[in-house]
Amino acid sequence: MEQCEGNNNDVEKERIIFDVHMEKNQEVDDEATLKRRLAGPSVLKSGQESVNQERINEIIYSASKGSKYFEAEQKRDLELRNRIERVQQEVKEYYRKLECDKGFQREWAERTDEIDGYMQELRSSRDLSQVIVHVDCDAFYASIEELRNENLKNVPMAVGKGVLCTANYMARKFGVRSAMPEFIARKLCPDLIVIPLNIPEYAKKSKEIQDVLAEYDQNLCPASIDEVYMNLTSYIHLHELSNDEDNIQKVVTQIRNKVLEVTGVSVSCGIAANKLLAKIASNMKKPNDQFFVSNEAELIEKFMFELPTRRINGIGRVLEQELLGLDIKTCGDIIHSRTLLSYVFKEKTFQNLIQCSLGIGSTIVQDFGDSNRKSIGSEITFSKAITSGGLLESKLQSLCQSLADDLSKRDLIANSISIKIKTDTFQVHTRQKNLREYIYNDTDLFCEALKLLRVEYPLRLRLLGVRLSKLTTKSSYFACQLKFSKQNSVPCPVCHKNLEDDLSVVNQHIDLCLNTETVKTVINNEKKGPPKRKRNTIDVFFRH
DNA sequence: GCGGATCAC
DNA sequence: TATGGTGATCCGC
Tell me whether residue A29 is exposed, middle or buried, using C-beta atoms within 10 angstroms of its C-beta: 0 to 12, 13 to 18, 19 or more: exposed
pLDDT tens, position by position, A119-167: 999 999 999 999 999 999 999 999 999 999 999 999 999 999 999 999 9
**What share of chain A in percent tops pLDDT 90?**
77
Among residues A108, A124, A140, which one ends one of the domains? A124
Is the residue at A22 inside a domain?
Answer: yes
| Separation between Cα atoms, residue A79 and residue A168, nearest integer Å | 35
Residue with minimal CA–C1' distance to C5 is A379
Point out the least confidently predicted range of A258-267, A402-411, A529-538. Answer: A529-538
| Distance in Å, residue A41 CA to nucleotide C8 C1' | 18
Please check whether residues A113 and A145 belong to one and the same domain.
no
pLDDT band for position A113 (50/70/90)? very high
**Model confidence at A277: pLDDT above 60:** yes
Instruction: Tell if A380 CB is < 7 Å from nucleic strand C.
Output: yes
pLDDT given at position A55: 92
Q: Which nucleotide is at minimal CA–C1' distance from A470?
A: B1
**Model confidence at A1: pLDDT above 70:** no
pLDDT band for position A233 (50/70/90)? very high
pLDDT given at position A528: 36
Instruction: Tell if A417 CB is < 7 Å from nucleic strand C.
Output: no
Please check whether residues A96 and A151 belong to one and the same domain.
no
Instruction: Tell if A63 CB is < 7 Å from nucleic strand C.
Output: yes
Q: How far apart are the first and last CA of chain A?
A: 28
Average model confidence (pLDDT) across chain A: 89
pLDDT given at position A521: 39
Residue with minimal CA–C1' distance to B9 is A224
Total domains in the fold of chain A: 3
Average pLDDT score over residue span A431-448: 97
Is the residue at A205 inside a domain?
Answer: yes
| Distance in Å, residue A136 CA to nucleotide C9 C1' | 23
Is the residue at A162 inside a domain?
Answer: no
Q: Which nucleotide is at minimal CA–C1' distance from A416?
A: B1
Is the residue at A299 inside a domain?
Answer: no
Please check whether residues A88 and A140 belong to one and the same domain.
no
Please check whether residues A86 and A139 belong to one and the same domain.
no
For residue A220, what is the domain's CATH number? 3.30.70.270
| Distance in Å, residue A265 CA to nucleotide C12 C1' | 45
* DSSP 8-class letter at A532: P
pLDDT band for position A47 (50/70/90)? confident
pLDDT tens, position by position, A345-362: 999 999 999 999 999 999
Contact between residue A167 and residue A157 where contact means Cβ atoms under 8 Å apart: yes
Average pLDDT score over residue span A46-55: 80
pLDDT tens, position by position, A173-223: 999 999 999 999 999 999 999 999 999 999 999 999 999 999 999 999 999
Instruction: Tell if A175 CB is < 7 Å from nucleic strand C.
Output: no
Q: Which nucleotide is at minimal CA–C1' distance from A165?
A: C4
Is the residue at A401 inside a domain?
Answer: yes
pLDDT tens, position by position, A526-543: 333 333 333 333 333 333
Please check whether residues A418 and A467 belong to one and the same domain.
yes
Please check whether residues A8 and A82 belong to one and the same domain.
yes
Contact between residue A48 and residue A172 where contact means Cβ atoms under 8 Å apart: yes
Average pLDDT score over residue span A19-37: 80
Average pLDDT score over residue span A89-105: 96
Please check whether residues A510 and A375 belong to one and the same domain.
yes
- Return the bridge partners of A378, or none: A466
The residues, any chain, with a CB within 8 Å of residue A74's CB and separated by 6 or more, are A34
| Distance in Å, residue A380 CA to nucleotide C5 C1' | 8
Please check whether residues A50 and A149 belong to one and the same domain.
no
Please check whether residues A471 and A522 belong to one and the same domain.
yes
pLDDT band for position A15 (50/70/90)? confident
Q: Which nucleotide is at minimal CA–C1' distance from A419?
A: B3
Point out the least confidently predicted range of A1-5, A84-88, A134-138, A265-269. Answer: A1-5
* DSSP 8-class letter at A273: S
pLDDT band for position A2 (50/70/90)? very low
Average pLDDT score over residue span A391-416: 98
Point out the least confidently predicted range of A232-246, A441-455, A469-483, A522-536. Answer: A522-536
| Distance in Å, residue A203 CA to nucleotide C7 C1' | 17
Please check whether residues A259 and A137 belong to one and the same domain.
yes
The residues, any chain, with a CB within 8 Å of residue A78's CB and separated by 6 or more, are none
Average pLDDT score over residue span A100-118: 97
| Distance in Å, residue A224 CA to nucleotide B8 C1' | 9
Among residues A236, A260, A292, which one ends one of the domains? A292
pLDDT given at position A119: 98
A316 versus A29: which is more confidently predicted?
A316
Domain that holds residue A209: 132-155+191-292
Please check whether residues A494 and A420 belong to one and the same domain.
yes
